[in-house]
Amino acid sequence: MRKSFRKPDGDELLVLDGVDLSLREGEIVGLLGRSGSGKSTLLRLIAGLSVPVAGSIRYLGQPVTGPPPGIAMVFQSFALFPWLTVLQNVQLGLEALALPPGEIRRRALGAIDLIGLDGFESAYPRELSGGMRQRVGFARALVVHPNILLMDEPFSALDVLTAETLRTDFLDLWSEGQLPLKGVILVSHNIEEAVLMCDRILVLGSNPGRILNEIKIELPHPRARLDPHFRDLVESIYVEMTSQRSTGLAGKRSDRLPGSGLGTILPLVSSNLLAGLLEAIAGSPYNGNADLPVIAASLQMEIDELFPVAETLQMLRFVDVAGGDIRITTEGRQFSDAATDERKRLFAQHLLTHVALSAHIRRVLDERPSHRAPWSRFSDELEDHMSPDAAEQTLRAIVDLGRYAEVFAYDDQAHAFSLDNP
Ligand code: ADP
Ligand code: MG
């Protein structure tokens, strides 16, 4: 299956290519990939909300041409109507089924009860916590008694504890056969979540999105995150995702490290984290060479949160990432040992040398008599290479990096880059 979008300039943005997958009865299948790898797009295709440009989707042997009644979806953003009560939001799921009013109410109450929302029928979404809101999202999906549930990062907008409670509640209901479901597809960018919940994980690569690998998870439920087998699986998937990234991003030019050209999508990371991770790697007990999952645990971060930080440090040549290891470079150690001013100087130097976009922005500002340039000057340019969302993210990332390095300034109100402070 292939999916592309038409960019505003008329070019094609290829998002998914050669994707082939199936969901069998009784399975939870995970789609694991980085942001932008096309996971949501794939889910929308399966749900019949969008059509592929080549290939097809079949549900129970029939081609999918619109949303099939047996497939329901849960969204990261909950997607509740604020002016409707919990009961009304859940009943909305049944609107298309044209059931008698009594039956609608009975089924909605059943779903509300099942998912642990009993007593909240007449509450409005704003009165609920994030976790309770997502329970409404689940109830609204389950109330139609779907065969297949599609979940698009349903736990990622929740705090850690709430997310874990909801995951285990869902898994309990699933294992006890209480859910009216035959199969589940879970989209996630969180490796641990995928290993915790799925029978099979499909790892997606980016640009264009494609399936890199399929991993069967044969651990019995309930799964324990600290179980050595669990850790091994997380680690091996992690290694696979990082090695794919360091070779994948750099493209065929194996002599070049990732992340230098103007077309490179930059991740958003905080400069505190960049310095923090470097210091952690440089210091004891790692002394310059660390296992990323281990260091993630010691910083109390999810591995996935460290990905973009490690990627940015690698782009700046402050570290090398290979397999699951992260190693500090000579320059990285210099940075880590330096005081604030020297750090800024080193950072600026590496930024301008290794990240083409920063040098480009700086050059444009230097050349203009006003030393100012609007956001749109660069976003238009980036959109020749990437989607508007990716261009926005990339520019926001470079604003953060440029500010930290003091190589240019950005005025949020005027939406303009300038050389005001440096
Ligand atoms: P993920 O869910 O893995 O983060 P998405 O499926 O949301 O990824 O997006 C994959 C790529 O497709 C991104 O580059 C995104 O900007 C682009 N994209 C998604 N939907 C559209 C659309 N409707 N029009 C144009 N580009 C899109
Ligand atoms: Mg998505």
DSSP helix/strand/coil, 401: helix
Return all residues near 73 (Cβ < 8 A) that are at least 6 apart: 43, 47, 141, 149, 150, 151, 152
Higher pLDDT, 172 or 156: 172
Given 225, 240, 255, the domain boundary residue is: 240
Q: How confident is the model at residue 262 (pLDDT cuts 50, 70, 90)?
A: confident
Q: Which of 210, 203, 277 is CA-nearest to residue 233? A: 203
Same domain, 179 and 86: yes
How far apart CA 216 and CA 218 sit, in angstroms, is 6
Same domain, 160 and 16: yes
| CATH classification of the domain holding 389 | 1.10.10
| CATH classification of the domain holding 209 | 3.40.50.300
Q: Which of 73, 71, 74, 69 is CA-nearest to residue 96? A: 69
Closest listed ligand to the CA of 157: 2
Same domain, 275 and 407: yes
CA distances from 156 to 86, 304, 365 (A): 21, 12, 39
> What average pLDDT score do residues 212-232 get?
92
Same domain, 220 and 298: no
In a domain, 81, yes or no: yes
Same domain, 94 and 184: yes
In a domain, 258, yes or no: no
Assign residue 213 a region (left: φ > 0; alpha: ψ between -120 and 50; beta: otherwise).
beta
- Residues within a 6 A CB radius of ligand 1: 5, 13, 15, 33, 35-41, 387, 389-390
Question: In the prediction, which pLDDT does 257 show?
Answer: 40
Mean pLDDT, the chain, integer: 89
In a domain, 220, yes or no: yes
Same domain, 207 and 278: no
335 touches 387 (CB < 8 A) = no
In this predicted structure, the answer to whether residue 252 has a pLDDT above a threshold of 50 is no
Same domain, 276 and 200: no
In a domain, 262, yes or no: no
DSSP helix/strand/coil, 41: helix
Percent of the chain with pLDDT over 70: 95
Residue whose CB lies within 8 A of the most ligand 1 atoms, among 1, 2, 17, 41, for a mutation test:
41
How far apart CA 83 and CA 85 sit, in angstroms, is 7
In a domain, 260, yes or no: no
In a domain, 265, yes or no: no
| Structural domain total, the chain | 2
Per-residue pLDDT tens digits for 159-218? 888 999 999 999 999 999 999 899 999 999 889 999 999 999 999 988 899 999 999 999
All residues with CB under 5 Å from ion ligand 2? 40
> What average pLDDT score do residues 217-240 get?
89
Return all residues near 62 (Cβ < 8 A) that are at least 6 apart: none
In a domain, 264, yes or no: no
What is the domain extent for residue 136? 3-240
Percent of the chain with pLDDT over 90: 64
Q: For 120-134, 313-327, 337-351, 400-414, which range has the lowest pLDDT when averaged over its residues?
A: 313-327
Protein residue whose Cα sits closest to atom 19 of ligand 1: 41
Q: Which ligand 1 atom is nearest residue 187's CA?
A: 2
Protein residue whose Cα sits closest to atom 12 of ligand 1: 15
Given 219, 240, 261, the domain boundary residue is: 240
Closest listed ligand to the CA of 31: 1
In this predicted structure, the answer to whether residue 256 has a pLDDT above a threshold of 50 is no
How far apart CA 392 and CA 77 sit, in angstroms, is 20
Q: How confident is the model at residue 246 (pLDDT cuts 50, 70, 90)?
A: very low
CA 309 / ligand 2 centre spacing (Å): 20
Same domain, 381 and 234: no
Same domain, 216 and 355: no
Given 224, 240, 256, the domain boundary residue is: 240
Higher pLDDT, 246 or 25: 25
Same domain, 47 and 176: yes
In a domain, 170, yes or no: yes
Question: In the prediction, which pLDDT does 157 show?
Answer: 84
Assign residue 52 a region (left: φ > 0; alpha: ψ between -120 and 50; beta: otherwise).
beta
Q: Which ligand 1 atom is nearest residue 44's CA?
A: 6
Per-residue pLDDT tens digits for 86-114? 999 999 989 888 899 999 999 999 999 99
Same domain, 96 and 50: yes
Same domain, 211 and 334: no
154 touches 137 (CB < 8 A) = yes
Q: How confident is the model at residue 244 (pLDDT cuts 50, 70, 90)?
A: low
